[in-house]
Amino acid sequence: MPHYFFHFTDGQRVFNDGDGQHLSGLRAARAHATRQVRDLKAAMCDHHIQDFAGWSMTVADRLGRTVFVLGFDLKPRAVLPPRTLRPVARPAPHR
């Protein structure tokens, strides 16, 4: 079963998905990404964010190759050459 990672960016910072998801294929990955984007928008703490133009979710395969990019407007985006974005560190898991 394919393994996909769902990273997102606000246009300045990248939030990496370190776990990913095993899904049945590309159709399931698109459905999962769409749900994730909707959930992220609904959960935004800052309700003053009205412009999501710079926000997107990049879906990558297990080798780190970009499969597709979905804007927060839920429209596919062209896959662009990598930009230098500042990754956001994930907190260490509690043990």
Three-state DSSP state, 67: strand
Does any domain span residue 93? no
Pairing of strands 86-87, 56-61: unpaired
pLDDT confidence of 85, banded at 50, 70, 90?
very low
Does any domain span residue 31? yes
Please name every residue paired with 60 in a beta bridge, in sequence order, or none if there are none. Answer: 5, 66
Q: What total number of domains does the chain contain?
A: 1
Q: How far, in Å, CA of 93 to CA of 89, rounded? A: 12
Asked whether residue 42 carries a pLDDT value surpassing 60, the answer given is yes
Does any domain span residue 83? yes
Does any domain span residue 19? yes
pLDDT higher at 61 or 50: 61
Average pLDDT, the chain: 83
Does any domain span residue 42? yes
The range of the structural domain enclosing residue 18 comes to 3-87
Does any domain span residue 59? yes
Q: Rounded to two decimals, what is the model's pTM? A: 0.75
Identify the pLDDT of residue 46: 64
Identify the pLDDT of residue 84: 45
* 2-6, 12-16, 29-33, 86-90: the lowest-pLDDT one: 86-90
Mean pLDDT to the nearest integer, 32-40: 93
